[in-house]
Structures are given as C-alpha cells and as structure tokens.
Amino acid sequence: DEARQRFADANPNSLARQNEAAASLPGGNTRAVLWYPPFPVSFVSGEGCRVTDFDGHTYVDLVSEYSAGFYGHSDKAISAALVDVIQGGILLGAPNRYEARLAAAVVDRFPAIERVRFCNSGTEANVMAISAARAITQRSNILAFREGYHGGVLTFAHGGSPLNLPFPFIFADYNDIAGAAALVREQGSDLAAVIVEPMLGGGGCIPATREFLEALRAATKETGALLIFDEVMTSRLDYRALHGAHGVFPDFVTLGKYIGGGASFGAFGGRADLIDRFDPASPGAFSHGGTFNNNILSMAAGYTGLTQVLTQEASRAINARGDRLREAMNVSLERQGVEGIVIGRGSLMNLHFVKGPVETPAPLDNADPSVIALWHVEMLLRGYYVTPRGMLALSLPFGDAELAGFTAAFDDFLSSNLK
Ligand code: PLP
C-alpha cells in the first residue's frame, strides 16, 4: 500500500487520464491485461526501448506490448514504410503491393508454413485454424492445455471469468507427455485437433520440452487429428520460430504480434494441402473474409520488419541477451537468498516468486501474489516498465547497458524490499 501511494503521488496526470477514460470505458480500460491497481501509467510516446508517460517519466520498456513490440518503438525502416503507404492510400479494396511480399517472407522463414493466410489478430488466427481443422477432419473436439492462452475468447488460465467460444474443448496438463498422449488416443476419431503453445506465454513462460512436442506430433499422426502450434508469442524465440528450433513440424502454425511490424496482425499457415482449401478458385473452397486481412499498414510494416530489421544476427543476439538477463536475475535471487526463479527462453521470460524448478504450471499455485505486485510497483518507480505478472519481453533495441541497469535495479529491489 505504501508503494502504491508513492506511485499514485508520482503519477497525477496518468490518474487524471484514467478518471477521464472511466466515463466511457469500463474502469477506463479496453484491454484487461493493461489494468493494475491503483491505476495504470499511460504513455504519450516511445523511442527505441524507452517509453514516456503523461507525467514525464521515461522507462526502459520490458513489457514490449506483451511481446508484440519486438522491433522497439519508432523503428526507422518501419516508420518509413508506413509513411510511404499512407501517402499512397490505405483502403484500396484490392490485393495490394505488400501482401504477397509479406506472405513470401513468412513462408521463406518458417519451415512448417508452406502457405499462409492473414487476419487481424492472434485470436482470430487460432479461431480460423481450429475451425479449419474441424471442417477438414469432419471431427469436433479440440484438445488444449490448462493454463494455455490462445486469445481473448480462448483463454484457459486461472483467474478472471473468461468468455470462451463454445468449441468442445478437452484439457490436458502441459508438459505431461503420458497424460496428453493417452488423451489423444482415447479421443481417437472424435478429436479434430490439438492446439499448443511451444512455450506457455501468458501461463508463465514455461517452455515445452522437445519430447512433449514430439509426443503430440506422434500421437496426432496416429489418430489423424491435426496439430496446431500457436506461435503467436513464440515465433520471436528463434529465427525459424520454435517449431524450426525444435525440428517438430505441426500441420498448422498461427502467428501474430510483432509479425505485423506493430500494426494489427494475425496469420494462420501450414501444410499446403490444408491451407489450399482456402483457394477461392477451387471447388468447395472454405470462405474466409475479413475487411482488414490484407490491410496495407500491417502488410508493409510486417514485410519491412521481417526482411530489413529482424535479421538472423539480430534474432540470435536478442535471444542470447535474454538468456543472459534470465541468468543474471537468477544469480541475484540466489545471492540475496530470495525464493524465486526466472524461467523462459531467449527474449521472453517470467519472474516467479516460488521455489524452482518450474517445469509445469503446478508450482506457480504456491506464489504469494503480493510479492510480485510489490516488485511491479517498485520496478516502475525505479524506471523499468514491467508487467504485473512478472513477464518480461525484450525488444531489439534493448542492449547491454539496459541489461546491466535492469539487473542492478532488480538486485536493489531484492535487497531493499524483500529482506
Ligand atoms: N496466442 C498467444 C499464445 C498469445 O500470447 C496471444 C496474445 O497474447 C494470442 C494468441 C492472441 O493474440 P491477439 O491478442 O493478437 O488476439
């Protein structure tokens, strides 16, 4: 409470914005994830890996728009591409000069994607992949994992009251090879698809073991169910996404977030024989509309990001830096004798104040929510924009100086606030 009071005192303009917004938005909010007590800081601008709020504080950004802000703020090449398309008209109502180029870049990069279709969000991409899997297999059930997150209407985490779509879902435990494989076999010809994040993102950055993903691949192949990897968050963890890194190839891959270069984006792709069912010239083609599916802002920003900004070297460097940050925070926790662990992979990680190891969601039930809440406010007060749940996402401009600064601030928090 004392830290929250200091936070409120330091942010009168964010509070005023919050109060104004609450007149027309419920609780001043239109994205549940961006709300925390007593009220969220609101931003006016961003540059590189820094954001500036309504009260003039500048933060190092480790939220990175929950991983979608991979390129950092105001990247020059992406900004130039956006200005160029804005000046040429943005609602042309026909195929435009960027969508095929972005599609080719996506197909070129991600080995399990032979064909792709665009949509407007990661949520929509998953709804499309699940719907396509059910139509193709003529089966109904979908196997998903507890604590998985596949979008605003496909959320299986604890807490809140999710508004889920009425697909017939069956649930298994993440990283439980025997349990999941047994369920797939038991479901047999009733099971249309398995949907899985190759690392639980919203569920706490718990990486899947390769063996778990391989077991899902083998079991679905056996029963004829289709395997969907939701790589909306994880495609940034390797130049070829996590399916490429692990060499496990699903039937469908869904994408979103940074691949639109900062504009709204979703995509579902995969095996050519499956995605080609959407070819409008083929008999009985699946119909897939969407006014903004090929919107030129996302297509141009996305193409520029993938081909000019996220080089193989940039991808390797940021993921290696993330591994170093995770290690440095774990060293800090150990040295200060604080019970906690940072898990994840590469540029995405999550701090949990529980005893490790954490290889499944179960140990996270033991966390005391007041500790992570204190960490959140204290890191904001120290000039680091972090998520209330402890997730950290690095953007490409986050460098070694920011890594050193953040590690020192984290160490200071542990020694000043938790001892
Ligand atoms: N799938 C995963 C794994 C996600 O993390 C998210 C968003 O956080 C989504 C799907 C939904 O994407 P969007 O917010 O673009 O609808």
Nearest CA to ligand 1 atom 9: 151
Cα(230) to ligand 1 centroid in Å equals: 9
The domain that holds 30 is classified in CATH as 3.90.1150.10
Q: With 80 as the cut, is the pLDDT of residue 101 above it?
A: yes
CA-nearest of 416, 343, 324, 345 to 379 is 416
The number of the ligand 1 atom at minimal distance from the alpha carbon of 124 is 16
- Same domain for 173 and 288, yes or no, is yes
Give residue 99's pLDDT band: very low, low, confident or very high (50, 70, 90): very high
Write out pLDDT tens, residues 264-278: 999 999 999 999 999
pLDDT(357) > 90: yes
Position 160 scores a pLDDT of: 74
Domain boundary among the residues 309, 330, 345 is at 309
Q: How many domains does the chain have?
A: 2
Cα–Cα nearest to 392, from 312, 323, 315: 323
pLDDT cut 70: percent of the chain above it: 100
pLDDT bucket at 157, cuts 50 / 70 / 90: confident
Q: 227 and 108 share a domain?
A: yes
Whether the per-residue pLDDT at 13 is higher than 80: the answer is yes
Identify the domain containing residue 215 by its residue range: 76-309
How far apart, in whole angstroms, are the C-alpha atoms of residue 107 and residue 253?
Answer: 11
Q: Are residues 55 and 204 in the same domain?
A: no
Helix (H) or strand (E) run with residue 315 in it: helix 312-336
**108 and 198, same domain (yes or no):** yes
Same domain for 298 and 339, yes or no, is no
Whole-number Å distance, alpha carbon 122 to ligand 1 midpoint, is: 5
In the structure, which protein residues have their CB atom closer than 6 angstroms to any atom of ligand 1? 66, 121-123, 126, 149-152, 197, 201-202, 230, 232-233, 256, 266
CB atoms within 10 A of CB 74: 13
Listed in sequence order, the residues at least 6 apart from 105 whose beta carbon sits closer than 8 Å to its beta carbon are 302, 303, 306, 307
Instruction: Assign 384 a pLDDT band (cuts: 50, 70, 90).
Output: very high
Q: Give nearest CA residue, ligand 1 atom 12.
A: 122
Mutate to test the pocket of ligand 1, among 118, 120, 123, 127 (most ligand atoms within 8 A of CB): 123
Q: CATH code at 139?
A: 3.40.640.10
Are 374 and 349 contained in the same domain?
yes
Q: How far is the CA of 135 from the centre of ligand 1 (A)?
A: 23
What is the average pLDDT score of the chain? 97
pLDDT above 90: residue 159: no
DSSP state letters, 81-134: HHHHHHHT-S--SS--TTHHHHHHHHHHH-TT-SEEEEES-HHHHHHHHHHHHH
Instruction: Assess contact for 232 and 155: CB atoms under 8 A.
Output: no
Q: What is the DSSP letter of 419?
A: -
Mutate to test the pocket of ligand 1, among 150, 235, 252, 258 (most ligand atoms within 8 A of CB): 150
Position 171 pLDDT exceeds 90? yes
* Residues 200 and 294 occupy one common structural domain: yes
Distance 88 CA to ligand 1 centre (A): 30
285 and 230 both lie in a single domain: yes
The pLDDT > 90 percentage for the chain reads 98
User: Which of 309, 335, 370 lies at the terminal end of a domain, its last residue?
Assistant: 309
Does the pTM of the predicted model rise above 0.90? yes
Please state the rounded mean pLDDT for residues 174-190: 98
Mean pLDDT of the 237-247 span:
98
208 shares its domain with 120? yes
- Helix residue spans in 11-98 (DSSP H): 12-21, 76-87
**ipTM exceeding cut-off 0.95 for this assembly:** yes
153 and 34 in a common domain: no
| Same domain (yes/no): 105, 205 | yes
Residues 144 and 271 in one domain: yes
Whether 204 and 350 have beta carbons less than 8 Å apart is answered as: yes
Residue that is last in its domain, among 309, 339, 366: 309
Spatial contact of 250 and 244, defined as CB atoms under 8 Å apart: no
